[in-house]
Each structure stands twice: as structure tokens, then as C-alpha cells.
């Protein structure tokens, strides 16, 4: 076997990025891409429901912001229907994607998502017909960044909702940690959601 040539250098180890951002959010990465980044816009003028804005930051174990985090969100429409899932209640809002993606700001680590407030969703394994168990309105987050080998899943709930009957939250043993899943309302329609990967304020993550 021939020796490896001296001019070839080992690629730096990266669990997620910088190539992830180039492929997933090329325009945000500064590339002149012919199409908009997938997931950059979730709503249009025709989308039904209350418009909301979510800002936040992903923090490491020292509570420093991650400037290379990539965030995806998945959610139901205003009627609690996920687009494209064959819900027997209907097809959902045709002007709502249900999927968003954005990269954290490279200097501050801040992310920002414009979407609509989701409706309550049928619980896993439950019926999707009237009278079935419902989960409180929520938005699912998927996070990747340096040091994260597998994407992390969590949820954001709304502070004004009654969460006492949510079947997913009911399974969290340490009840005080539920607070890590509840956004802060900054103003009507404006929410702040901080995500902590480790430490005393560690966000609850779900194994799904």
C-alpha cells in the first residue's frame, strides 16, 4: 500500500457542521442559492390562525450560546392537524407547511421563527376523532449542533394554556422540570424559548 500523500490533510472532526448549514440553509450560510432555504417560511398571507414569533437560544453546559445550532420545528395548524399525515379530520390548512428550519445567528446564537399558534393535537395512540385524548398545543423542536451526534427532540408549550391534562407532560417524573418546556410570553404573539443542553436548567428532551 502506498503511503498517504503529504499534501492531503485530515478533515477536522465535526458532528454537525459547518457542512450541515451549507446543505440545510445555504442562503443563510451566504451562498447564492437559486431557491429559498427549505423551511425558511412556514406561513403566507392566507394561513389561518394567530401569528406568533418565537425567539430563543440553545445553550451549552456552561450556559453559553451555541452559534452553530440548527433548529427545526414541527407543529400542527390552528385546528390541531399536522399537514400530510392523513388525519381523518381533514387535510388541514393548505397554506401552512407545519415545518420550519433556521440556523442560529453566527454571532449571538439567536434563532427566530415566525409561525402560527397550533391547536390541540390528538395524543399518541389515541383517537383523532372528537372525544379522544388531546395534547395541549405545543411545537416540537429538533436541535443539532457541535458535540451533538444525534438530534435532540423537545417541545415548547404556551404559558397561558392548561397543561394539567397533557398526557406527555404527565409522564415526566420530576414535575419541576416541566417548566423547562414552557415558553415565556414577551408580548401578545411574541414568545421566548431558551434551550439548555446541560446544567441545572437542562431542558427536558424526549427519546423518540
Most confident of 27-31, 81-85, 135-139: 135-139
CB 68 within 8 A of CB 106: yes
Average pLDDT over every residue of 151-158: 96
The tens digit of pLDDT for each residue in 112-146 reads 999 999 999 988 765 555 556 899 999 999 999 87
CB 89 within 8 A of CB 123: no
Q: Kindly report which listed range (6-20, 26-40, 192-206) carries the lowest average pLDDT score.
A: 6-20
Compare 179 and 32 and report the one with higher pLDDT. 179
Compare 170 and 25 and report the one with higher pLDDT. 170
Average pLDDT over every residue of 36-45: 83
Q: Above 60 in pLDDT, residue 16?
A: no
Most confident of 3-17, 26-40, 68-82, 139-153: 68-82
Residues 6+ apart with CB under 8 A from 163: 136, 157, 169, 178, 182
Query: Where residue 1 falls among pLDDT bands split at 50, 70, 90?
Result: very low
* Of 105, 102, 115, 182, nearest in space to 142 by CA: 102
Residues 6+ apart with CB under 8 A from 123: 132, 133, 134, 135, 167, 168
Q: What is the mean pLDDT of the chain?
A: 86
For each of the domains in the chain, give its residue range(s) and CATH number, in order of start.
19-196 (2.60.130.10)
Amino acid at each position: 500500500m502506498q503511503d498517504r500523500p503529504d499534501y492531503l490533510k485530515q478533515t477536522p472532526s465535526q458532528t454537525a457542521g459547518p457542512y450541515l448549514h451549507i446543505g440545510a440553509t445555504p442562503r443563510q450560510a451566504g451562498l447564492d442559492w437559486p431557491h429559498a432555504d427549505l423551511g425558511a417560511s412556514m406561513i403566507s398571507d392566507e394561513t389561518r390562525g394567530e401569528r406568533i414569533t418565537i425567539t430563543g437560544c440553545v445553550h451549552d453546559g456552561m450556559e453559553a450560546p451555541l452559534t452553530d445550532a440548527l433548529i427545526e420545528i414541527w407543529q400542527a395548524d390552528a385546528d390541531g392537524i399536522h399537514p400530510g399525515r392523513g388525519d381523518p379530520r381533514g387535510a388541514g390548512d393548505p397554506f401552512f407547511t407545519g415545518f420550519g428550519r433556521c440556523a442560529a445567528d453566527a454571532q449571538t446564537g439567536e434563532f427566530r421563527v415566525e409561525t402560527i399558534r397550533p391547536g390541540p393535537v390528538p395524543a399518541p395512540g389515541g383517537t383523532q376523532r372528537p372525544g379522544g385524548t388531546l395534547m395541549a398545543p405545543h411545537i416540537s423542536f429538533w436541535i443539532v449542533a457541535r458535540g451533538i451526534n444525534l438530534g435532540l427532540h423537545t417541545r415548547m408549550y404556551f404559558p397561558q394554556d392548561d397543561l394539567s391534562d397533557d398526557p406527555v407532560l404527565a409522564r415526566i417524573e420530576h414535575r419541576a422540570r416541566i417548566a423547562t418546556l414552557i415558553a415565556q410570553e414577551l408580548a401578545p404573539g411574541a414568545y421566548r424559548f431558551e434551550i439548555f443542553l446541560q446544567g441545572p436548567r437542562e431542558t427536558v428532551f424526549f427519546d423518540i
